[in-house]
C-alpha cells in the first residue's frame, strides 16, 4: 500500500518535468548550440561550426558595450544598496503596525507597471519638466535641463526600478535577526559601530547579497530603461542582443552574447550560494 502510494506521486510533477525540459532546458541548450553556428549570407543560419561569434565579442565595439553594461550594473547595484540597506534596516526596527503599512506602500509601486513609472520619470526629467519648474520656483535661473536621454537619467531609472527588491531583501533578513546578539555584544563592551559591523552586518549579509543579485542580474538586461530614458545613446548588452535579433538578423551572434551574459549571471549566483550558504534568494516572494 505504502509503496504504491509513493510510486504514483511523481505523476503530479510530470507536467512540470515535461514543460521544463521542453520549454526551459530545451531552448537554453539550443541557445548554446546556436552560438557555435554561422550566419548565412542571406537571412538565416547555417549549421556550420564556428568560433567566430565568440571572437567577435572581443572586438573593441562589443567589448566596450560589455564594459559599459557592467559599469552601469555596478553603479546601479551600489546605489541601490546604499539606499536600500539603511531603508530595510530602519524599516525592520519600526513597530509592527508601521511595518505593515510601509510594506503595503512599497508593494504599490512594485506592482505598478514599470512602464508607468518610467513614464513618470520622463515627465520629471524632461527639459522643462517638473524638476526644472521646481528649481525655477526655488528662485534659481537655469536653462532648460538636458537630463533626459543622458547617462544619469538611465541610472536614476535603473535604481528606481530595482530598489524595491533590495529594500525587501534587506528588510526580511534584518527582521529575522536576533537583536539579543547585538545587545550581548554591547554588554560585552563593543561600541555601537563595532557591534553593528561585527554582528548586525554579518548576520544581514545574506539579505544584502540577495538584494545585490536581484539588482545586478536584471540590470544587465533591462534594455528598455536605457532605451526610453537614455534615448539610444547608451548601448547595453541587452540592446545589442535585441539589435542583433531584429535589425542585424545575426542570431548566432546574439546567442553568443547571451551565453556570455548567462555565464556572468551564473557565476554570480554560484558566488552567492557559496557566500550566503543557501540557494534561496531572500525576499524574492
135 scored as a contact of other proteins (CB under 8 A): no
Question: Would you say 209 and 272 are in contact if contact means Cβ atoms under 8 Å apart?
Answer: yes
When binding is defined by CB under 8 A, the residue of 48, 115, 135, 275 that contacts other proteins is 115
Element containing residue 46 per DSSP (H, E): strand 45-46
Is residue 230 within the footprint of other proteins (CB under 8 A)? Answer: no
Closest distance of CB 33 from other proteins, Å: 10
Contact between 121 and other proteins (CB under 8 A)?
yes
25 contributes a contact to other proteins by CB under 8 A: yes
Q: Which of 23, 49, 197, 201 binds other proteins (CB under 8 A)?
A: 23
Closest CA to 166 of 226, 91, 220, 87: 87
Q: Is 138 in the site for other proteins (CB under 8 A)?
A: no
Cα torsion through 259, 56, 158, 224, rounded to 10:
-90
Nearest distance from residue 130's CB to other proteins, in Å?
Answer: 6
Give the number of other Cβ atoms within 10 Å of residue 95's Cβ: 8
Contact residues for 91 (Cβ-Cβ < 8 A; gap 6+): 99, 102, 167, 171, 174
Restricting to residues 65-94, name those near other proteins by CB under 8 A: 83, 86-87, 90-91, 93-94
Cβ closer to other proteins: 78 or 129?
Answer: 129
Largest CA distance in the chain: 84
Binder of other proteins out of 155, 185, 209, 222 (CB under 8 A): 222
Q: Is residue 206 part of the contact set for other proteins (CB under 8 A)?
A: no
3-state helix, strand, coil in the chain (%, to 5): 75, 0, 25
Residue 172's Cα: distance from chain center in Å?
18
Element (H, E) at 171: helix 151-176
Is residue 136 within 8 A of residue 101, CB to CB? The reply is no
Residue 137 and residue 130: Cα distance in Å, rounded? 10
Q: Note whether 10 binds other proteins by CB under 8 A.
A: yes
Name the residue nearer to other proteins (CB basis): 181 or 245: 245
Q: Is 262 in the site for other proteins (CB under 8 A)?
A: yes
Q: Which of 218, 226, 282, 283 touches other proteins (CB under 8 A)? A: 218
Residues 242-261 that bind other proteins (CB under 8 A): 242, 245, 251, 254-255, 258, 261
- Tell whether residue 228 is a contact of other proteins (CB under 8 A): yes
Closest CA to 103 of 179, 167, 166: 167
Chosen residue from 75, 126, 150, 198 binding other proteins by CB under 8 A: 126
What residues between 159 and 198 interact with other proteins by CB under 8 A?
Answer: 160, 163-164, 167
Instruction: Please tell me whether residue 129 binds other proteins under the rule CB under 8 A.
Output: yes
Q: Which stretch in 56-64, 122-130, 179-187, 199-207 sits in contact with other proteins by CB under 8 A?
A: 122-130
The yes or no reply on residue 106 touching other proteins (CB under 8 A) is yes
139 counts as binding other proteins under rule CB under 8 A: no
220 is a contact residue toward other proteins (CB under 8 A)? yes
Task: Give the up-direction half-sphere exposure of residue 153: CA atoms within 13 A in the CB hemisphere.
Answer: 28
Positions in 30-49 near other proteins (CB under 8 A): 30-31, 34
The dihedral built from the CA positions of residue 116, 121, 126 and 129, taken in this order, carries a sign that is positive
Amino acid at each position: 500500500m505504502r509503496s504504491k502510494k509513493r510510486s504514483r506521486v511523481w505523476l503530479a510533477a510530470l507536467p512540470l518535468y515535461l514543460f521544463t525540459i521542453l520549454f526551459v532546458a530545451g531552448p537554453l541548450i539550443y541557445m548554446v548550440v546556436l552560438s557555435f553556428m554561422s550566419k548565412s549570407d542571406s537571412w538565416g543560419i547555417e549549421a556550420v561550426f564556428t568560433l567566430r561569434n565568440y571572437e567577435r565579442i572581443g572586438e573593441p565595439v562589443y567589448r566596450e558595450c560589455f564594459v559599459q553594461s557592467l559599469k552601469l550594473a555596478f553603479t546601479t547595484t551600489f546605489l541601490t544598496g546604499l539606499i536600500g540597506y539603511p531603508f530595510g534596516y530602519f524599516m525592520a526596527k519600526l513597530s509592527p503596525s508601521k511595518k505593515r503599512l510601509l510594506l503595503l506602500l512599497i508593494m504599490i509601486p512594485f506592482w505598478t507597471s514599470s512602464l508607468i513609472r518610467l513614464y513618470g520619470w520622463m515627465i520629471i526629467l524632461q527639459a522643462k519638466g517638473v524638476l526644472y519648474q521646481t528649481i525655477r520656483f526655488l528662485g534659481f535661473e537655469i536653462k532648460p535641463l538636458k537630463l533626459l536621454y543622458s547617462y544619469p537619467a538611465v541610472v536614476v531609472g535603473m535604481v528606481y526600478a530595482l530598489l524595491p527588491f533590495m529594500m525587501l531583501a534587506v528588510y526580511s533578513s534584518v527582521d529575522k535577526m536576533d537583536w539579543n546578539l547585538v545587545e550581548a555584544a554591547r554588554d560585552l563592551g563593543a561600541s555601537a559601530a563595532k557591534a553593528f559591523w561585527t554582528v548586525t552586518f554579518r548576520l544581514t549579509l545574506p539579505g544584502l547579497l540577495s538584494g545585490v543579485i536581484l539588482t545586478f542580474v536584471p540590470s544587465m538586461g533591462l534594455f528598455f530603461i536605457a532605451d526610453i530614458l537614455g534615448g539610444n545613446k547608451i548601448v547595453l548588452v541587452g540592446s545589442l542582443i535585441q539589435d542583433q535579433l531584429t535589425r542585424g538578423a545575426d542570431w548566432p551572434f546574439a546567442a553568443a552574447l547571451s551565453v556570455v551574459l548567462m555565464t556572468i549571471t551564473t557565476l554570480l549566483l554560484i558566488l552567492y550560494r557559496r557566500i550566503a550558504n543557501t540557494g534561496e534568494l531572500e525576499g524574492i516572494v
